[in-house]
């Protein structure tokens, strides 16, 4: 892992009067670029050839660093350009997908966020332990398919955006579904060796977004989204008589997100959960969470909130709230959203000469 002291030395060489905000052209880049522009920063897009078309349409990019392949994101050449442009890199879901641990260890550019927690996020087991130690309610884990004795949710390694995941209620059903998923090429043989089996939580999915400000020492709740997942959200459009006998195996590939508001009585707990996660992160990987982080949760009929995933960075659901959310509207006297909140923190840090508090 690149030492924080080294990142700080790199930052010392930056021209702090012309800091730019950089990210990979994917996932929530438009959100990040818009926020950066609104706060007066130049924007840098690390962009796979062909993808610039999307970003040109919105006119939010000042400098492109073109790459042939997403795996080149951490090449020496790209890093050099990023440093020349005094870039602070904002990690998002694609950043985590393309910069694996080995590459992260070679990535000598300041990242807004905690590198150790970005790594924790790549392990379901570590995420689960983090949430449980923080005092959150989490789903039960089944060590093996033999232990399945109630509705269980089967996932596969890596953040696959729900592709190929399925629900079963017994070992026999598990074996049958596994065969079907392999046959349909929804999972690979390699993936099939490592299923991660959780208790299936029945309830309403809600994905809250938070921002932890090291400068203000405060955890803000910025908004919450829900997801459209295919095919599970489409199955119920088929009349029941037609569903029967079809062998439909709903999967959970994410297609999009939509904004949500929660009943007001849940808000206190939503804030508490965010604060608990931050407190635990300080023990887990000092100085703890920096900036955006988000949870995936299911709210049960008794209003218990069960958390099943954590992201130590911006999530794509924040894109549903570009501009404002009901909660940022209540808290700020101006439009506010994740990309802008990130840039606002950088702006304040530049002003107070505290950029080192935001990067690792």
The binding track of 248-277 with respect to ligand ATP, each residue x by CB under 6 A or -, is ----x-x-----------------------
**Where does this chain touch ligand ATP (CB under 6 A) — which range of 52-60, 62-70, 153-161, 238-246?**
153-161
Q: Which of 293, 308, 327, 337: binder of ligand ATP (CB under 6 A)?
A: 308
Is 160 among the residues that bind ligand ATP (CB under 6 A)?
A: yes
Which run of H or E residues covers position 133? helix 124-133
178-181: long-range contacts at Cβ-Cβ below 8 A with a sequence spacing of 24 or more? 178/154, 180/247, 180/249, 181/249
Name the one residue in this structure whose structure tokens are 């009585």: 265
- In 3D, which of 126, 68, 81 has the Cα closest to residue 101? 126
Q: According to the binding rule CB under 6 A, does residue 162 interact with ligand ATP?
A: yes
Tokens linked to 14: 């930056």
From candidates 115, 296, 305, 345, binder to ligand ATP by CB under 6 A? 296
Task: Pick the stretch among 62-70, 193-201, 256-264, 277-285 that binds ligand ATP (CB under 6 A).
Answer: 193-201
Residue with tokens 């006119």, as numbered in its chain:
59
- The residue among 42 and 92 lying less far from ligand ATP, judged by its C-beta, is 92
Q: Which of 113, 139, 164, 208 forms a contact with ligand ATP (CB under 6 A)?
A: 139
Strand, helix or coil for residue 147: helix
Residue of 25, 29, 336 lying closest to 211 (CA atoms): 336
Pairwise CA distance, residues 163 & 155, whole Å: 9
Strands 20-24 and 42-48: parallel
Give the C-alpha separation, 26 to 5, whole Å. 29
CA-nearest of 208, 234, 238, 232 to 153 is 232
Q: Which is nearer to ligand ATP, 111 or 298 (CB)?
A: 298
**Among 119, 191, 309, 345, which residue sits at the site for ligand ATP (rule: CB under 6 A)?**
309
Nearer to ligand ATP, 233 or 272 (CB): 233
- For helices 29-38 and 338-352, angle between their N-to-C axes, nearest 10 degrees: 50
Q: Of the ranges 57-65, 199-207, 259-267, 348-356, which one interacts with ligand ATP (CB under 6 A)?
A: 199-207
Question: Is residue 319 near ligand ATP by the rule CB under 6 A?
Answer: no
d(CA 262, CA 268): 11
Among 75, 122, 170, 205, which residue interacts with ligand ATP (rule: CB under 6 A)?
205
Interface residues with ligand ATP (CB under 6 A) are 139, 153, 155, 159-162, 165, 198, 200-201, 205, 227, 229, 252, 254, 296, 298, 308-309
């Amino acid at each position: 892992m690149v030492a924080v002291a080294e990142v700080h030395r790199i930052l010392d060489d930056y021209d702090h009067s012309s800091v730019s905000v950089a990210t990979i052209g994917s996932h929530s880049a438009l959100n990040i670029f818009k926020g950066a522009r609104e706060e007066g920063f130049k924007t840098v897009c690390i962009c796979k050839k062909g993808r610039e078309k999307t970003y040109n349409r919105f006119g939010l990019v000042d400098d492109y660093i073109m790459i042939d392949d997403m795996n080149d994101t951490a090449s020496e050449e790209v890093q050099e350009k990023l440093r020349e442009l005094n870039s602070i890199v904002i990690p998002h879901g694609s950043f985590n997908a393309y910069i694996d641990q080995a590459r992260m260890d070679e990535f000598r550019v300041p990242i807004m966020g905690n590198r150790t927690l970005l790594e924790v996020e790549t392990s379901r087991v570590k995420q689960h332990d983090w949430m449980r130690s923080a005092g959150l309610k989490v789903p039960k884990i089944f060590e093996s398919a033999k232990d399945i004795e109630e509705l269980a949710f089967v996932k596969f390694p890596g953040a696959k955006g729900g592709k190929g995941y399925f629900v079963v209620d017994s070992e026999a059903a598990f074996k049958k579904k596994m065969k079907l998923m392999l046959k349909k090429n929804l999972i690979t043989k390699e993936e099939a060796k490592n299923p991660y089996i959780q208790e299936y939580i029945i309830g309403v999915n809600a994905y809250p977004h938070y921002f932890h400000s090291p400068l203000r020492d405060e955890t803000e709740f910025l908004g919450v989204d829900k997801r459209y997942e295919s095919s599970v959200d489409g199955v119920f459009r088929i009349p029941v008589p037609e569903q029967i006998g079809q062998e439909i195996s709903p999967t959970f590939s994410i297609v999009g997100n939509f904004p949500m508001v929660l009943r007001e009585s849940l808000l206190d707990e939503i804030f508490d959960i965010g604060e608990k996660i931050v407190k635990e992160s300080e023990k887990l990987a000092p100085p703890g969470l920096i900036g955006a982080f988000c949870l995936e949760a299911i709210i049960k009929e008794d209003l218990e909130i069960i958390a099943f995933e954590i992201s130590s960075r911006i999530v794509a659901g924040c894109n549903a709230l570009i501009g404002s959310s009901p909660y940022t509207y209540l808290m700020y006297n101006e439009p506010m959203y994740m990309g802008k909140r990130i840039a606002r923190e950088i702006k304040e840090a530049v002003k107070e000469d505290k950029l080192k508090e935001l990067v690792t």
